Amino acid sequence: MKFICPQNELSAQLSSVSRAVSSRPNRPVLANILVKADIENQSVTLVGFDEVLGIESRFSAQVEEPGTLTLPSKLWGDIVSRLANEDITLESEGDSTTVTLTSSSGRYEVRGLSAEDYPALPTVEEGEAISLSADALLSGLRGSLFATSGDETKQVLTGVHLLSETDALEFAATDGHRLSVVQTTDESVTDTPFMDVTVPAKALRELERMIQGYTSNEPVALRLDETQVLFDLGRQRLTTRLLEGQYPNYRQLLPKQFARQVTVDRRLLMASLERIAVLASQKNDIIKITLNPGDQSIALSVEAQEVGSGHEELPAQVSGDELDIAFNVRYLLDGLKAFDTTEVQMQCNAATSPAVFVPLGETKITYLVMPVQIRG
């Protein structure tokens, strides 16, 4: 195998696929990245795979001799990232798994392992592909990923639920205390096949990062079967195992009617919450929102015993009666950061029933937050 490519290209691709390499692999070869040099297409493909998440990345290179082998992910990545940005050469002799990496700085020999034992990425061939615009996918991920659970004992909640209906795709995530539902419509696509799956958040965070660097106008193709989903971005592909288990019937959790409604400037609210959060974080992150329909304002306050207290007021359109309702300020900020509109609306009924936050704009996000009940 022998190929020549720019250092920055190789370094970027290595850093991307290494995210699918386990730091504690079950087998030695899984600590490595698979590298395939293709002479016909003059391209190099890298693969990282932890047996759940797989990332494959293809880039152009001057391939002089084809070949396939695996190299230790961390070692290889750390060396390449420290080299100057210039063309570098990777070369191995015959069947040898030792690669010589040559740059103007010098020569490195890195011992790899044969590609024979490297597992093939799962393939998803059956059924038709669903195509989604990168923008729609990105806004769906942004609006939902933050609400997933980090608790590994609640497996199905550690993922985002994807549900498709005709030309709409719905993203939902909940950790049991809050729920975010994003509806994306993609007019370029019609008759989307039915889809009802839960995808691990870990994989989707990688997908989000990949889409942020995706420059093509082509839609992203999504293929799935019973156990796997594959996102195809042309040069990059991400595959992951789906989460098993019934996703909660979240739609029934969304209240249909509200007795109180507040409309407020999102940035002002966020800035106030960030300040209030400084004190709240000293305690338990709990803050109180007071709705004042009388003077059309809301008050935000924090009482952190033995630390201090804070109080701010914001102009708002308030309908309904006065109310004191407490929240974990982190939950509120997570949601408000994921919105991109000037104004945000909060709707609620009582201090102990769910509050719903929606951005007033094109993106359809419904963010439900359970309040904190204060007793005694």
Partner 1 sequence: MPRQSMTAIATASMRKIIHVDMDAFYASVEQRDFPQYRGKPLVVGGRPDQRGAVAAASYEARQYGIHSAMPARIAQQRCPNLIFARPRFEVYKAVSQQIRAIFHRYTDLVEPLSLDEAYLDVTTNALEEPSALVLARAIKADIHSTTQLTASAGVSVNKFLAKMASGQNKPDGLTLILPEQAETFVAALPIERFHGIGYVTARKMRALGIATGADLRQRTEADLVQHFGKVGHFYYRVAQGQDDRPVNPNRIRKSLGAERSFSPDLTNLAEMTVALEGVAAEVISRLQEQRCRGYTLTLKVKYADYRQITRSRTFVAAIGAESPILPWAEEMLLTHLDCSQPVRLLGLTLSNLELVGEPICVQLSLEI
Which residues would be at the binding site for partner 1 (CB under 8 A)?
Answer: 174, 176-179, 248-250, 253, 283-284, 286, 305-307, 326, 328, 352, 354, 368, 370-376
Residue (190 or 249) nearer to partner 1, CB? 249
* Residue 364 three-state SS: strand
Of the pair 190, 305, the CB lying nearest partner 1 is at 305
**One-letter amino acid identity for 123?**
T
Residue whose C-alpha is closest to residue 133's, from 185, 81, 95:
185
Question: C-beta of 46: minimal distance to partner 1 in Å?
Answer: 36
Nearer to partner 1, 268 or 370 (CB): 370
State the pairing for strand pair 343-348/178-185. Answer: unpaired
With respect to partner 1, which residue has the nearer C-beta, 45 or 328?
328
> Least Å distance between CB 300 and partner 1?
16
- Smallest gap from residue 76 Cβ to partner 1 (A): 31
- 56 closest CA partner among 91, 99, 13: 13
Q: Which is nearer to partner 1, 293 or 354 (CB)?
A: 354
Q: How far is the CB of 351 from partner 1 (least distance, A)?
A: 10
121 versus 356: smaller Cβ distance to partner 1: 356
* Beta carbon nearer to partner 1, 76 or 171: 171
- Please state the φ and ψ torsions of residue 162, each to the nearest 5 degrees: -110, 130
The bridge status of strand 159-165 relative to strand 168-174 is antiparallel
Indicate the residue among 334 and 340 with the shorter CB distance to partner 1.
334
Contacts 24+ apart (CB under 8 A), 240-243: 240/52, 240/53, 240/54, 240/199, 240/200, 240/203, 241/52, 241/53, 241/122, 241/200, 242/159, 242/197, 242/198, 242/199, 242/200, 243/155, 243/156, 243/158, 243/159, 243/198, 243/199, 243/200
Could you tell me the smallest distance in angstroms from the CB atom of residue 50 to partner 1? Answer: 23
Give per-residue burial for 141-165: e unless 16+ CB within 10 Å, then b. Answer: bbbbbbbbbeeeeeeebbbbbbbbe
Closest approach, Cβ 136 to partner 1, in A, equals 26
Give the list of residues 6+ apart from residue 211 with CB closer than 8 angstroms, or none: 134, 137, 138, 141, 220, 233
CB 118 within 8 A of CB 29: yes
CA 63 to CA 74: how far, in whole Å?
Answer: 24
Minimum Å gap between C-beta 305 and partner 1 is 6
CB distance 107 to 26 below 8 Å: no
Q: CA angle 81-87-93, nearest 5°? A: 90
Q: How far is the CB of 288 from partner 1 (least distance, A)?
A: 10
Distance between alpha carbon 328 and the CA centroid of its chain, in Å? Answer: 22
Q: How far is the CB of 183 from partner 1 (least distance, A)?
A: 19
By beta-carbon proximity to partner 1, the closer residue of 112 and 354 is: 354
Locate 277 and state its tokens.
């959060």
